[in-house]
Chains A and B, each alone.
Chain A
Amino acid sequence: MEHTVHQTHDHYDPEASKIGMWLFIFTELLLFGGLFVIYSVYRFLNPEAFHLAAEELNRAIGTINTIILLVSSATIAMATSAIQKNNKRQTLLLMLVTVLLALTFLVNKYFEWGAKFGHGIFPGSEHMIQTMSKGEILFFGLYFIMTGLHALHIIIGMAFIIFVMVLTARGKIHSERFALLENSGLYWHLVDVIWIFLFPLFYLIH
């Protein structure tokens, strides 16, 4: 097992905060896990309707958004390397790119959701209840909940990264002390991992 490091007065233990972050990520995984259970059960019970409903989603936007997230994941990972080499400018630049990509993702989502709303597809809509089968209603219900919750995580992740950027700019985070930056990266990768599953489950079932 790992050996014990006695804490010093200033409480800085990067390993501890890393485990803490991982444990938090586990809870997030299970939060989405609950939704994945629901998704798979309903998909199993309504295979046809899920096919039909998935046709309504735009694969192109989905693919673009996937790639955006993957790139942003790479940039934030590179930021952790950059800070370890003590290259502050590069670190900040890479983080900025991450945040901008995240923003693009959200803008895309906004238009995507907007289009759905325009077609009368939103939770609790009368239009859906009248024209769709129960399976399709479930599909869209889950679509909005899962992508919505994911978008919320994107926003939290962005806020986290921006916060870390400020600290980096102020010199609070540097090559000797970058656990927080690493953690924001971990969180961001989690958001990515979840999307990696959401994408095929919602956009790619034809």
Chain B
Amino acid sequence: MQAATPIPTDVSYLEYKGKYKGIFSWIFSTDHKRIALLYLYSMMVMFLVGVLLGLAMKLELIAPGKTIMEAKDYNAVFTVHGVIMIFMIVVPGLPAVFGNFLLPIMIGAKDVAFPKLNLLSWYIYVLGALLVIASVLFGNGTPDTGWTFYAPYSFKTGTNLLPAIFGAFVLGFSSILTGLNFIVTIHRMRAPGMTWTKMPLFPWTLYGTGWIQLLATPVVGITLVLVSLERIFGIGVFDPALGGDPILYQHLFWIYSHPAVYIMILPAMGAISEIIPTFAQKHVFGYRAIVASTLAIAFVGYFVWGHHMFTAGMSGTAQYTFSLLTFLVAIPSAIKVFNWISTMHQGSIRLETPFYWAASFIFVFMIGGLSGLVLGSLATDVYVHDTAFVVAHFHFIVFGGVGFAFFGAIHYWFPKMFGRMYDKGLANTGWIVFFIGFLALYAPMFYLGMKGMPRRYYDYLPEFHAANILSTLGSWVMAFGLVIILINLFRSAKHGPKADKNPWNGKTLEWTVPSPPPVENFAETPVYGEKDGPYEYQ
């Protein structure tokens, strides 16, 4: 089929339409770069919905008692917020957008191994998203179980849970296919001479992520199927009335959902590992250590799920085993932080927007991660489990970590993706407003949790009022920052000044192709020699 129309090497992927016209040249395109943008736009839509729900929650919590909604609505809002943010934004986020766009280019390939499967993953993603939306719009009530769907509440509630669960299942399938595609691509399609130890760090993290996606997602898939069957037939697997064990549900759920948090953070760490060397103009410090820690996180992260269940009634043995393993998985993250900071040492640092995001990433990631240590320790987790402290932890790390990395990545690769540059002044303003808002929004939640305010609370006692006000104000500041950032990016994608091939003097392969890249990326397949490597700044 391709032999008929040879693909030009001088037309950018944004202009080349292939055999379809208009929108069809996007939604039928198997070009990994176009698929990446499809993901970017569809995620952006879902993301804005999630953000609005987040803001609504904060508005509700500005004062005790009813502010803008009923308890029923609040419960629905945090459920949908959680489902959207986890299953549609941060789990697929960096792999589907930046992984798709950059993985083939960074390893010197023309596309991913299975381009059609890649497009199919996006369709499946959209289907999953539509199912979740359907659960909100139709039927008798929006799901209200929390994103964890804990049994037995999840088959007692009268709300419209089935489509949401099925949606999560379908989204998981999309994520599996993406992971599979990336692993095969990395195994088979690296440029000649690019050995494993010459592969840049971002593809490495995608490789680790791919494995977690493959091995963890099916477990939650089957678990969600069982919850649906339970709702429909009452088979009893998790129903205590029929002999089932609700705690077993929690085991299975977290066997996926803990590794899932590393699905989220690993590509984020990968993006940071690209940005820092580029802006320090320096070889990354401890390449091998960073690779090893990536694989260690992926591997050990598979066995720590029980730290979400310290009060659920596990045996003591299981509790301290999980606590111990949790502490072990923190060490590779620490190694990464040390290596990033050391990369800056003796560098020649250029202060640009992506670097600001990366540096603030390190800061908020440390806060999020270190608060994870409080949660990993038995005595203290019993105290703060299911309080606002946990909410603060995961917003700092999920959204501080993954979100900041996402924004860092988009400011870093934007010129490559769209061939244009954004307004740097505006981008920096957006960053600082966002950063301040972020701290004001989530830091008070640590305090609230330490004082004992439970999470998923629609209403709270007056003693928690002051900190909640600060938090709500923070959410507005942050939203303002977000608006600045998004407007700047959207405008620049169309009207920004043309960008160079290599505006940051990066050393990885994507900076050797034109911006935006041509359809099959490389006019000539790059070949790695003995001395070449991803971060050779000489």
- Are the chains A and B members of one assembly? yes
A: residues with CB less than 8 A from B are 1-2, 4-7, 9-11, 13, 15-17, 19-20, 23-24, 26-28, 30-35, 37-38, 41-42, 45-46, 123-124, 129, 133-135, 137-138, 141-142, 144-145
B424 contacts the other chain (Cβ, under 8 Å)? no
Shortest Cβ gap from B168 to chain A (Å)? 15
Contacts of A6 in B (CB 8 A): 189, 191-192, 525
Q: List 25 A–B pairs whose Cβ atoms lie within 8 Å, in order of A's numbering.
A: A4-B191, A4-B194, A6-B192, A7-B110, A7-B188, A7-B189, A11-B115, A16-B114, A17-B114, A20-B181, A23-B180, A23-B183, A24-B180, A34-B221, A35-B222, A42-B245, A42-B248, A46-B243, A123-B233, A123-B235, A134-B236, A134-B243, A138-B242, A144-B235, A145-B235
Given A9-B2, A137-B236, A138-B244: A33 and B188 interface contact (C-beta under 8 Å): no
C-alpha spacing A23/B214, complex, angstroms: 7
Given A33-B219, A38-B248: A15 and B237 interface contact (C-beta under 8 Å): no
- Contact present for A20 and B114 (CB under 8 Å): yes
- Contact present for A41 and B245 (CB under 8 Å): yes
Query: Which among B3, B214, B251, B255 is the interface contact of A26 at CB below 8 angstroms?
Result: B214
Contact residues, B223-257 vs A (CB, 8 A): 223, 226, 229, 233-237, 242-245, 248, 251-252, 255
- Contact present for A26 and B110 (CB under 8 Å): no
Contacts of A32 in B (CB 8 A): 222
Shortest Cβ gap from A43 to chain B (Å)? 12
- Contact present for B192 and A1 (CB under 8 Å): no
C-alpha spacing A182/B437, complex, angstroms: 56
The residue of chain B having its C-beta at the shortest distance from the C-beta of A4 within the complex is: B190
Contacts of A46 in B (CB 8 A): 243
Contacts of B248 in A (CB 8 A): 38, 41-42
Most buried by A among B180, B188, B229: B188
B113 contacts the other chain (Cβ, under 8 Å)? yes
Shortest Cβ gap from A46 to chain B (Å)? 7
Contacts of A38 in B (CB 8 A): 226, 237, 248, 252
- Contact present for A16 and B188 (CB under 8 Å): yes
Contacts of A23 in B (CB 8 A): 180, 183-184, 214
C-alpha spacing A7/B115, complex, angstroms: 13
- Contact present for B236 and A19 (CB under 8 Å): no
Contacts of B195 in A (CB 8 A): 1
Given A28-B218, A37-B251: A141 and B3 interface contact (C-beta under 8 Å): no
C-alpha spacing A141/B19, complex, angstroms: 51
The residue of chain B having its C-beta at the shortest distance from the C-beta of A135 within the complex is: B243
- Contact present for B180 and A31 (CB under 8 Å): no
Given A4-B194, A124-B234: A27 and B226 interface contact (C-beta under 8 Å): no
B217 contacts the other chain (Cβ, under 8 Å)? yes
- Contact present for A20 and B184 (CB under 8 Å): yes
C-alpha spacing A24/B3, complex, angstroms: 30
Query: Which among B218, B236, B242, B525 is the interface contact of A31 at CB below 8 angstroms?
Result: B218
- Contact present for B218 and A27 (CB under 8 Å): yes
C-alpha spacing A137/B238, complex, angstroms: 12
C-alpha spacing A124/B233, complex, angstroms: 5
B531 contacts the other chain (Cβ, under 8 Å)? no
> Which 8 A-B residue pairings sit nearest by Cβ, starting from the closest?
A134-B243, A141-B235, A31-B218, A124-B233, A123-B233, A34-B222, A30-B218, A34-B219
- Contact present for B190 and A31 (CB under 8 Å): no
- Contact present for A145 and B229 (CB under 8 Å): yes
Contact residues, B115-146 vs A (CB, 8 A): 115, 117
- Contact present for B180 and A2 (CB under 8 Å): no
What 18 additional pairs, Cβ within 8 angstroms, besides A1-B196, A23-B184, A28-B218?
Answer: A2-B187, A4-B192, A6-B192, A9-B3, A16-B114, A20-B180, A31-B219, A34-B221, A34-B255, A37-B251, A123-B233, A124-B233, A134-B243, A135-B243, A137-B236, A138-B237, A138-B242, A144-B235
